[in-house]
Amino acid sequence: MSSSTDGVKIGLEIHCQLTSLNTKMFCNCSADYRGKPPNTLLCTVCAGLPGSLPVLNKRALEAAIKIGLAINCKISNKSNFFRKNYFYPDSPKNYQITQYDKAGGIAIANEGYVETNLGGVRITRIQMEEDPGKLQYEGSITTSSNTLIDYNRAGISLVEIVTEPDLVSPKHAREFLNTIQSIVEAIGECDSKLDGSMRADANVSISNGRRVEVKNISSFKEVERALNFEITRQKTIQAASKMETRHWDDVRRVTVTLRVKEDEEGYRYFPDPDLPPMDISNDYIEQLKNLLPELPEKRFIRFTNDIKLPGEIARILIKNKVVADYFEESLKYENNPKLISSWITTDIMGYLNRNNINFIDLSIDAKSLATLAKSVSDSQINEYTAKSILLKSISSNDHIDDLLKSEINNSVTFENLLEIIEKVLNDNSKAVADVKNDPQAIHFLIGQVMKATHGRADHSKVKELIEKQLK
């Protein structure tokens, strides 16, 4: 594990919604709450009305165990649910069904470990719990005169991944979050592209200071920004003197006090009497382990060892399962990993990022990209022309096949190329003479030919033909 030179300690609490589930964690209400009219997906169990009885969604247990296995946790053979009592408006029951690791409580998974490029991070536990409702403010949380509550989200299945304070910088925290994101997406239990599906609270302290929790952070990028601000604030005041919970204001990019941090005793944890303890057999755990797909780190090793991709390229591809799958699908049609991976990680992803477009919405299918790569391999067009076609297709939604056909029809024939080369050599006798004394001078002649063909000729072929003519 790495260590901070200025005593910075960061721990994260990552809340992953189990978006693969059709229903909530303890009832049959639909889990598809996004875009639905407020407070329409709510039943007696969600609201915690007297006499209602929660029943655990078996798929939630399965997903939690798979996530635990994927991040090297020990899966508990016995686990149980607790009630965490708090009186906030987003909790209709005035308590949250969660898990606890004290007073006889056992979380579903413990003692994991995740490697990142910036250092390893220990996982304290993974606990299953229900999501609260969603508060909506008229303006900022600190200035709003009214608060609206939508309970459609209440009861949605969550796993909370709690780390040890092993993260030593805001950059390290963001890298870790990206790693966790790639893992849960590879498993298929959490779609991070859905609004609010992955959220993180950060705990941070510096030397001789108390721990401060920062909540209400909207994205992983904002986590890094919030931590940078909070560390600077704590250094300015010579470390925090009290534990507190602060809100990240992403408009002003500052943290502001929400409340003094509660002690665990304040939540009055006790075992939920409506939910019996879970007995989880080793055979069941092994079955779920065998269902795990290839995880990002194993895919990285395969990309670098078997496909021979550079490490930095492979690392970009495996961060997003959709991107990595697209890359491998392209290779089924044209085995040119170097060219295809370069186009994906630079040209395609660059354009999509600049225009705030998700990769899943890319208009070019994997087969079409492979067709374009094959046209380069077959010397029908050069790489420069292929890249121009690629970018035009992305920006205009014109099909690559149509653009490629048009380009090939207008391409320079062998006979035309010979004529152009002959003319360039005749018009540049001095440069021809210079080549005899300085072989590097040939690049001027190549440039003149490429200019005359509007970049459509194959660079290596032009060089070969000029050299042949000059012998």
pLDDT tens-place string over residues 357-371: 888 888 899 999 999
Same domain for 209 and 84?
A: yes
Residue 415's pLDDT band (cuts 50, 70, 90): low
Per the structure, the count of domains in the chain is: 3
Band (pLDDT 50/70/90 cuts) for residue 414 is: low
Q: How confident is the model over 115-166, as pLDDT tens digits? A: 988 889 999 999 999 999 998 887 777 677 788 999 999 999 999 999 999 9
pLDDT of residue 173: 95
Rounded CA gap, 362 and 331, in Å? 17
Domain match, 124 and 107 both: yes
Higher pLDDT, 40 or 470: 40
The residues with which 16 forms a beta bridge, in sequence order, are: 159, 198
Using the 3D structure, point to which of 362, 382, 409 is the last residue of a domain.
Answer: 409
Q: Assess whether pLDDT exceeds 80 at residue 204.
A: yes
Specify whether the CB–CB gap between 421 and 470 falls below 8 A: no
Last residue of a domain, one of 368, 392, 409: 409
303 and 256 belong to one structural domain: no
Same domain? 312 vs 244:
no
Is 130 a domain residue?
A: yes
User: Which of 448 and 55 is assigned the larger pLDDT?
Assistant: 55
Residue 210 has pLDDT above 70, yes or no: yes
Domain membership of residue 247 (yes or no) is yes
Q: Cα separation of 466 and 421, whole Å? A: 7
CB burial readout 397-409, b (16+ within 10 A) else e = eeebeebbeebee
| Residue 439 is assigned to a structural domain of this protein | yes
Q: Is the pLDDT of residue 456 over 70?
A: no
363-377, 384-398, 406-420, range with greatest mean pLDDT: 363-377
Span 15-34, average pLDDT: 96
Of the three residues 393, 409, 425, the one that is the final residue of a domain is 409
**176 lies in the same domain as 266:** yes
- Residue 312: domain span: 294-409
377 with 464, same domain: the answer is: no
Is residue 2 in some structural domain?
no
Q: Measuring CA to CA, which residue among 34, 317, 59, 56 is closest to residue 195?
A: 34
Report if residue 3 sits inside a domain. no
pLDDT tens per residue across span 427-438: 888 877 877 778
DSSP H or E segment with residue 20 = none
Least confident of 109-113, 299-303, 351-355, 419-423: 419-423
Residues 41, 182, single domain; the answer is yes
Kindly state whether residue 1 falls inside one of the protein's structural domains: no
For the record, the structure tokens of 448 come out as 């003149």
The mean predicted confidence, pLDDT, of the chain is: 89
Q: Does residue 272 lie in a domain region?
A: yes
Same domain for 388 and 419? Answer: no
Q: Report which of 141, 43, 34, 21 is spatially closest to residue 92, judged by C-alpha positions.
A: 43
Overall size of the chain counted in residues: 471
Query: Do 14 and 163 sit in the same domain of this protein?
Result: yes
Per-residue pLDDT reduced to its tens digit, 275-310: 999 999 999 999 999 999 999 999 999 999 999 999
CATH number of the domain to which 435 belongs: 1.10.10.410
Same structural domain, 57 and 155: yes
For residues 49 and 127, state if they share a domain: yes
Highest mean pLDDT among 204-218, 247-261, 317-331: 317-331
Q: What pLDDT does 7 receive?
A: 87
Of 95-99, 236-240, 303-307, least confident by mean pLDDT is: 236-240
Q: Give the phi and the psi of residue 4 in degrees, each rounded to 5.
A: -90, 140
Above pLDDT 70, what percent of the chain? 94
User: Among 14-18, 120-124, 335-339, 398-402, whose mean pLDDT is lowest?
Assistant: 398-402
* Of 38-42, 342-346, 364-368, 392-396, the least confident: 392-396
Question: What's the pLDDT at 125?
Answer: 95
| Statement to judge: residues 209 and 312 lie in one domain | no
Q: Is the pTM of this model over 0.95?
A: no
Q: Report pLDDT for 311.
A: 93
Mean pLDDT of 374-398: 86
Q: Contact at 8 Å (CB) between 240 and 19?
A: no
In a domain, 137, yes or no: yes
> Would you place residue 381 in the very low, low, confident or very high pLDDT band (cuts 50, 70, 90)?
confident
